[in-house]
A and B are shown apart, each in its own frame.
Chain A
Amino acid sequence: MPLIELSQVTKRFAARPAVDALTLQVAPGEVYALLGANGAGKSTTIQMLLGFITPDSGSVRVAGYDVVAEPVAARRQVAYVPETVQLYPELTGVENLDYFSRLAGHRLGRVALAATLQRAGLTGESADRRVVTYSKGMRQKVGLAIAFAKGAQVLLLDEPTSGLDPHAAQEFNLATAAIAATGVAVLMATHDLMRAQQLARRIGVLHEGRLRIERNARDVSLAELETLYLAAVNPTASHAAPPAARSVA
């Protein structure tokens, strides 16, 4: 059973479709990379999965729960790492993790908190420093640790490595792969073709709210992916016309 299911989902803002008849599924343990230019509908898709935006039509389900009809049950199954993880600057990394994991209903001891942060790549004394002193990469790691601690079946990532240096982005990808390996379904919205190609099992390209291309990541090289992407987001340019979306699941 897929853990993420969008079926013919449409969302309009002021009559302009932000997401248009989107159908998409992500299986347990799968990483799905959703590519697209700014305004393509990636973030709107994630916000609908979080239940922050209600679709105009279609069905959005997370771990079997309809996010509109059963928002709280659906949210219990979802972890989310945005482009910039915002934490309480007055609290330390450990305190932020402790707070958010307790809100999610998990009480972790001091050792478990440190281990979770370590698993997300945040080690040493930095966990006990106030977040106001953190770099963006460190915040992203705390965000990932919060996602780990929640033990959710679904992880939504919205441009999670944007602005990170290559090393930090690589570390983030490794941690994400590790979480997917535990059976978590990961949907990652990103501009980063290389990270998408490295991390994802499947890649979809959104343009003007429609899923233009869907490929198995192993079937395309990075160069081919770039050509497909450019053709999808700018069909009038001199790239080869993209083939219609097709399922490879």
Chain B
Amino acid sequence: MWDSLIQVLRKEATILRRDGRAPWLLAVLGGLVLAAALSQALIVRSNLAAVDAAARAEHSRWLAQPEKYAHSAAHYGIWAFRRAAPLSIADPGVTAYLGSAVWMEAHLQNEALYRPSQDAGLLERFGALSPAVVVGAIAPLFLLLLGYGAVSREREQGTWSLTRIQAASLDSIVAGKVLAIASAVGVALIPGLLVVTVSSIVLASPDHGLTILTATGRVLLWLLAVAVYLLLISSLVVALSSATRSSAMALGIGLAAWTVGVLLMPRFAAEAAARVAPLQTQQQWTLALRRDLYDPAGEAQLESLKLQTLQRHGAARVEELPVNWVGVRLQAGEERGNAVFDAQWGALFEQIARQQTLARSGGLASPWLAFRSLSQELAGSSFAAHRDFLQQAEVQRRRIQRILNEDIQGKLERDGQRPPSGRDVWDRVPEFRSQVTPLAAQAGSWRGPLLQLLAWAGAAFALVGVAARRAQRGAAT
């Protein structure tokens, strides 16, 4: 079996090499993925440098603020920047369409601002053609062009009967053809994938949740997903070639399938998901947030807290308290707001997750969708990764407010003068560094697409096996 497979692989490689079209096709594909990888690597490297510089400058600005009332510092605010995951070189995912910085201030959990797509330059526009798009959406077209005649052309030429009569297992012959096509495209992709691999490992930073080891693991998993994807598409192409009566028919059906799977299905899945599970409009969401945030019941809760605090300390007035009541009240207000934010942001995230799950179910009809979703999750460029960034920024915002409010609580007002805070307090606020969430903590996001991709692979390998058995029967042509 293995010997026949290797012979077929060798023979197909020789034919592809001597074929006038194949080397050109592969050179174009290889050039595309290399250009996409290089441009994406430049974009990510420049993003990382810019984010690191901005984060350092922002933290310095925070530390350099003069002595002031701590709550003034809470409103002085500070930015949290999202550092791109290094593997977004392979797949920038949805990061360009989501904000990359969050303004952290008292009382409010702000939305992320500054979407890279808003001010994308020419280089970044070309970068939209990422390695993942070339591999997932364009490479199948090349696999089809190389493989549509894998079996049908042999039948048309008459070499298939001579092959069958050699009594080698047709499973191994068909498998050899699948491997030959997939390897040819795989070899063409090597330079680009090498750029992805090296760059994303080099740009990994343990300060941001990725050691060289974990970065390498992620890249290897992504490359494994690419290999499975190329093999499954090659299997589908060879099965199609075996099932159709002519090469022309195989090419026609293959092109139609590519158009549906790559061009139509993603749009259809997104539209269908938006209709079945629509999101609130931004206006509706903001109104609901404000309604809960400025609920008059909040004032009553604060009044009740004040009474409890006075009672606990045996005081009649807040001025008699051993702690600064303003600090206590500010922190209580923050905590009440936090509960509202958790509820409203949580509901929004749930709606988005429901819509995304529906859209991703399109991966059952299109392997490109399954691969795209898995690739974004592995690259750390999915919506789940963005949500993690927002949550990290919110944790930091709450930490800052707590530090500042606790400082206020510890400093009693004298003669109506607000006690100032200085560098020692600002120093207590750690520098914000966005973290790439470990894959293990995000299993819920990548498990579905992974299962879809594996189901596609299983179905494609089964189909090609059936095709081999069908080819075993049937008259020689």
For window 71-105 of chain A, which residues contact chain B by CB distance below 8 Å? 71-72, 75-76, 78-80, 82, 84-88, 90-91, 95, 99-100, 102-105
Contact indicator A86/B15 (Cβ below 8 Å): no
A80: shortest Cβ distance to chain B, in Å? 5
Residue of B nearest to A54 (CB): B473
A142: shortest Cβ distance to chain B, in Å? 10
**A95 and B14 in contact, given A53-B475, A88-B159, A90-B19 (Cβ under 8 angstroms):** yes
Most B-side CB within 10 Å, residue of A52, A75, A76, A80: A52
A58 to B259 alpha-carbon distance, docked (Å): 49
Interface string of B463-477 (1 = CB under 8 A from A): 000000000111110
- The size of the chain B interface, using a CB distance under 8 A, is 28
Residue of B nearest to A147 (CB): B165
Contacting residues, chain A, for B158 (C-beta < 8 A):
82, 84, 86
Interface flag for A173 (CB, 8 Å) = no
Contact indicator B14/A86 (Cβ below 8 Å): no
Contacting residues, chain A, for B281 (C-beta < 8 A):
none
A50 to B19 alpha-carbon distance, docked (Å): 31
Interface flag for B271 (CB, 8 Å) = no
A115: shortest Cβ distance to chain B, in Å? 20
Query: Of the candidates A53, A88, A143, which one forms a contact with B15 in the assembled complex, judged by CB atoms under 8 Å apart?
Result: A88
A129 to B7 alpha-carbon distance, docked (Å): 20
Residue of A nearest to B167 (CB): A75
Contacting residues, chain B, for A86 (C-beta < 8 A):
157-159, 161-162
Contact indicator B14/A90 (Cβ below 8 Å): yes
Interface flag for A146 (CB, 8 Å) = yes
A56 to B91 alpha-carbon distance, docked (Å): 57
Interface string of A93-135 (1 = CB under 8 A from B): 0010001101111000000000000000000000000100000
Interface string of B164-177 (1 = CB under 8 A from A): 11111100010000
Interface flag for A201 (CB, 8 Å) = no
Contact indicator A80/B159 (Cβ below 8 Å): no
Interface string of B1-12 (1 = CB under 8 A from A): 001100110110
Query: Of the candidates A79, A80, A95, A104, which one forms a contact with B161 in the assembled complex, judged by CB atoms under 8 Å apart?
Result: A80
Interface flag for B65 (CB, 8 Å) = no
Contact indicator B163/A90 (Cβ below 8 Å): no
A52 to B475 alpha-carbon distance, docked (Å): 5
A91 to B17 alpha-carbon distance, docked (Å): 11
Contact indicator A78/B11 (Cβ below 8 Å): no
Instruction: Tell me the B residues contacting A by CB distance below 8 Å.
Output: 3-4, 7-8, 10-11, 14-15, 18-19, 157-159, 161-169, 173, 472-476
Instruction: Give the 6 A-B CB pairs with smallest separation, nearest first.
Output: A86-B158, A75-B167, A103-B166, A104-B166, A103-B168, A52-B476
